[in-house]
Amino acid sequence: MRTRFAPSPTGYLHVGGARTALYCYLYAKNKGGKFILRVEDTDEERSTEDSMRMQLADLKWLGYHYDEGVDADTLKDFGAYGPYRQSQRKNIYKEYADKLLKSGQAYYCFLTDEEIEVQRQASMKAGRPPQVNSPYRDWTLAQGEKKIAEGGKAVVRFRVPDLNREYKFTDLVRGEVAFPSDMVGDFVLLRTGGMPVYNFCCVIDDALMKMTHVLRAEEHLSNTLRQLMIYEGLDMKPPEFGHLSIILGSDRQKLSKRHGATSVNEYKERGYLPEALSNFIALLGWSSPKAQEILSMSEMIEQFSLDRLHSAAAIFDEVKLKWVNAQHLRAMPHAELWQRLTPFFKQAGLVLSDDPNWQDRSLSVYKTSMEVLTDAIELYRPLSLNGFTIYDEAKEAFAMPTTPNVVREWRDQLAALSDEFVSEAQFLAAQDAVKAKAQVKGKELFFPIRVAVVGKPHGAELKILIPLLARKLLIERAETVLKHLKA
């Protein structure tokens, strides 16, 4: 049992592509089969190595480990059926095109683009499907070769059998599908420069790489007819096909840039967890037999089956994605969660304690306020050990004549304690003592203390924050405010 994901490296890995990859991966793992990655880079103008590198990195981040393909780091092939980049298989495609030419199932066609356009216009006027009618269809191979030897420029065109019959197959998602053979005209296999087209490479590679199951986007359903014809022409056995449901935005339009993030990379940067993104996209077109909404990768592998794939369009609901992410995030062991947060803290310039006990304690307090990893940045900013900012909003507190005295009393209360951290109870007691000594209440009490802790009179609740700030640091912050008041 072998499945493959075959991305074209012409941009980022889209969430739709990630879902295709995930289903192929889950199916292979569920069946004890192999999952293969093949790079479809025959579109020379649009394919780039950068895009390939990014897409492979995204697959790695998602954790869809393939058994054969192109390594995400070294970009080297591994596996017994390589090369795995179509641009490196041109001689193979040529060999099979020659076979079809020899057996008369393909021919050299010398129609120019202009001639094809004239035919297209005429078909449109007559209300016929725009099929190419090549006068070279009846040429012998020798005639074609002679014209090429004389400098003629030809494509290799597949000779669609004149049978008036239906091509049928059982789609793994959609059930019986039938195409009339006259739905397509003779189609190109190799372009003028010898570059093969998608439908041709795909068949050759799926056959030679011994694919048993092809799961792919719905938009490829109509390509399947051409592909079946090529399989038949080469006397090769086609794999089973499954065409996945389309993904729509919440406005029921095809998911696109207009809907916001559509690339896996953007979700990564926005603080989504790969396991949550996978869980969410798995449910776009598949459902758990146990009706589970939150699933780990191993649960998905265990529960996955093709008969639970739906053909109806799936709606990409960002609100649900966030919810799924929050569930995974909150269920994660703290040490692991901290590791995932670290790059985000670093990028935001925060310096936080490296004491695992402190990290654990802080996450118990904050993780319920986090849905995505990036939510942690503002929650942890007041706890950063580098730089304490006194914000403009502190002005109101600084204008109160009682403030210097309140901050001094606050500092003295802290200094009189001895533990490394101040507990919530100690804080409340200290606050009461300041109130009594400085003879203030309400704003005159709370504003200066807040400014001395977080640099502004509003924001996170102090009784939550203070136990996470070392007492020494709290004293330092109070001193900074006092200095500021004197200046």
Q: Write the interaction track for ligand GLU spanning residues 408-447; mark x where CB under 6 A is met and - where it is not.
A: ----------------------------------------
CA dihedral sign, ordered 374, 380, 382, 383: negative
Distance from C-alpha of 123 to C-alpha of 128, rounded to nearest angstrom: 5
Q: What angle, 0 to 180 degrees and rounded to 10, lies between the N-to-C axes of helices 403-416 and 471-486?
A: 160
Phi, psi angles (nearest 5°) of residue 244? -80, 155
Residues 199-258 within binding reach of ligand GLU (CB under 6 A) = 202, 216-217, 220
Using rule CB under 6 A, residue 69 touches ligand GLU: no
Q: Least Å distance between CB 216 and ligand GLU? A: 4
Binding mask 349-388 for ligand GLU (x = CB under 6 A): ----------------------------------------
Peptide bond into 382 cis (omega under 30): no
Q: What SS3 class is residue 175?
A: strand
Return the number of the residue (183 or 217) whose C-beta is nearest ligand GLU: 217
CA distance 322 to 319: 5
40 sits near ligand GLU (criterion: CB under 6 A): yes
In the complex, minimum distance from the CB of residue 291 to ligand GLU, in angstroms, rounded to a whole number: 30
295 closest CA partner among 312, 280, 274: 280
Residue 7 binds to ligand GLU (criterion: CB under 6 A)? yes
Greatest CA span in the chain, whole angstroms? 107
Nearest approach in angstroms of CB 217 to ligand GLU is 6
Provide, rounded to whole angstroms, the least separation between the CB of residue 35 and ligand GLU. 13
Minimum CB distance to ligand GLU smaller for 94 or for 220: 220
- Contacts made by residues 314-318, CB under 8 angstroms, sequence distance 24+: 314/245, 314/246, 314/247, 314/248, 314/284, 314/285, 315/247, 315/248, 315/249, 315/250, 315/252, 315/284, 316/15, 316/247, 316/248, 316/249, 316/250, 316/255, 316/259, 316/284, 317/250, 318/250, 318/260
Q: Quote the least distance from Cβ 56 to ligand GLU, whole Å.
A: 14
**Which of helix, strand or coil describes residue 285?**
coil
> Residue 42 Cβ, how far from ligand GLU at the closest point, in Å?
9
Round to whole Å and give the CA distance between 246 and 255. Answer: 9
6 is a contact residue toward ligand GLU (CB under 6 A): yes
85 binds ligand GLU (CB under 6 A): no
Q: Where does this chain touch ligand GLU (CB under 6 A) — which range of 3-11, 142-150, 267-275, 308-316?
A: 3-11
In the complex, the smallest distance separating the C-beta of residue 223 from ligand GLU, rounded to whole angstroms, is 7
Q: Binding residues for ligand GLU, how many (CB under 6 A)? A: 8
User: Contacts with ligand GLU in 176-205 (CB under 6 A)?
Assistant: 202
Q: How many CB atoms lie within 10 A of CB 433?
A: 15
List residues near ligand GLU by CB under 6 A.
6-8, 40, 202, 216-217, 220
